[in-house]
Structure formats: structure tokens, C-alpha cells
Amino acid sequence: DAKTTQPPSMDCAEGRAANLPCNHSTISGNEYVYWYRQIHSQGPQYIIHGLKNNETNEMASLIITEDRKSSTLILPHATLRDTAVYYCIVIPNFGNEKLTFGTGTRLTIIP
Amino acid sequence: DTAVSQTPKYLVTQMGNDKSIKCEQNLGHDTMYWYKQDSKKFLKIMFSYNNKELIINETVPNRFSPKSPDKAHLNLHINSLELGDSAVYFCASSQGGATLGYTFGSGTRLTVV
């Protein structure tokens, strides 16, 4: 699995957009970028994933740079319930690959 | 309806005991996993099973024995519990490769005293 680098913590004001960066400079051509989050004491929750195009769903948007060496997860209107640890993971798309979690970014939404 | 359910949610036991944690998924997924989250909050994979067959075993002590009676269930049995086994254990499932995402259970907090 390619290594990812994320800032250890970030704050964001409630109602503003939260932009969480991730570096994955050694990503391979067949590897996807996945984002999960873990709200305190709960199991990790899938947010979004992408290969090279930008993606959007009801939870978030994912912006992947053209060289695919970094990405940004965007929570458009952060709420207090978005306070969590966010994990950026790269993983090949074949078989049932294990997820390797790093230390993630602890996002705190400020009222 | 809970997609991935684990029981019990909390488990407190003494050193040396044997205990089991059960996991069931109703998503029709063909692969199930056990992850361990220690006190430092690192999440690490322990095992994965695909259609009842072990496919990943991440150098977990052989006191840990996963059992998959069918593809909807993956139980974790732990023998001779040690203090260092205290952690939160998460079960997860996936289907057809990583692109379809993983679904995690809510975790079992094991405390060994």
C-alpha cells in the first residue's frame, strides 16, 4: 500500500467548508484514494473514493490533483457531527485488499 | 437493520480467560475482517476471510483464532487473555474488491484485568 501523509489535526468553524489534505506521492496507477472517518468510539465510516477524476456524493467532495500525488477531501458545510478522525488510504482495485490506516487527521468543528 | 453487528459491545474479563466475539453481516458481502484498535488509536488488520477461507493473517498470536462458519459470520476466539489484548476490536466486511467500500461494525471494547 502507498504511504499517505496527513496533518495530525485541523479546526474548522461550523458551517464553513472543511478542506482536509492528503499526500500520496508514491501512489501507483491502479490505486484508488479512499477516505474514511471515525467518530469517537464508533467504527470507521466510508466517505468517498476516487481514482483520478474528482468525485462528489452526499457526504463530501474529493479533489485529486492531475498527477494524483495528493488529494483534498471537502466537507462543504461542516457541522459539529463532522468532528472525527479522517483517514486517507490508497489501495489497489483488485481482490479484497486490506485497509491500512495511518494516524489520520483529527478534525474539530468549532461552534 | 444493522449491516455489520458485533456482540458483545463491552467485555471485561480476567487474565487467562478464554472469550469470543461474534460478528455477523447482512450485506451479502463475501469478505470479512477483524481489526484491532489499541489505546493509541492505531487501527490494524488482524485477519480477513473470503467465503469462509482465511486470506490474511497479520502475524497475530495463535491465541487468536478466527472462525467463519459461513460467509455471513466471522467470530474471534481468544485464548489465555493477556493485559495487552485490551483494545477495541472491529469487524468489517466488503464485496468485490476495494472499490465498493468497507462496512465496519460498531466495535467490541475488550478490557482484560
Among the listed residues B83, B106, B103, B79, the one whose alpha carbon sits nearest the alpha carbon of residue B7: B106
pLDDT tens by residue, B30-54: 889 999 998 888 899 998 888 878 8
Residues A7-45 have pLDDT tens digits of: 999 999 999 999 999 999 999 888 899 999 999 889 999
Which residues touch B68 (CB under 8 Å, ≥6 apart)? B32, B49, B52, B53, B54, B74, B75
Q: Does B66 touch chain A (CB under 8 A)?
A: no
One-letter amino acid of B98: A
Q: Are A61 and A54 in contact (CB under 8 A)?
A: yes
Other CB atoms within a 10 A radius of the CB of residue B35 amount to 27
Q: Indicate the range of A46-55, A97-106, B75-84, B95-104 predicted with least confidence.
A: B95-104
Q: Which of A49, A94, A99 sits opposite B45 (nearest CB)?
A: A99
Inter-chain touch A45–B104, beta carbons under 8 Å? yes
CA distances from B68 to A57, B27, B49, B73 (A): 34, 16, 7, 6
Question: Per the CB < 8 Å rule, is A43 touching B104?
Answer: yes
Query: B107: helix, coil or strand?
Result: coil
**Cis preceding linkage at B8, omega within 30:** yes
* Cβ-based contacts of B55 with chain A (< 8 Å): 96
Q: Cβ contacts (< 8 Å) between B4 and chain A: which residues?
A: 43
CB contacts, 8 Å: B58 with chain A: 98
Band (B97; pLDDT cuts 50, 70, 90): low
Residues in chain B with CB shorter than 8 Å from the CB of A45 are 104
Average pLDDT value for residue range B7-25: 97
> Residue B1's pLDDT is what?
65
Strand partners, A109: A12
With cell 462543504, the residue in question is A76
Mean pLDDT score across all residues of chain B: 90
Mutate one of B29, B104, B111 to test the A interface: name it (highest A CB count within 10 A): B104
Q: How far apart are CA B60 and CA B63, in angstroms?
A: 8
CB proximity B90 to A under 8 Å: yes
Q: Tens digits of per-residue pLDDT, A50-108? A: 999 899 999 999 999 999 999 999 999 999 999 999 999 998 866 567 788 888 999 99
pLDDT of B59 reads 76
- Tell me what the mean pLDDT of segment B14-40 comes to: 93
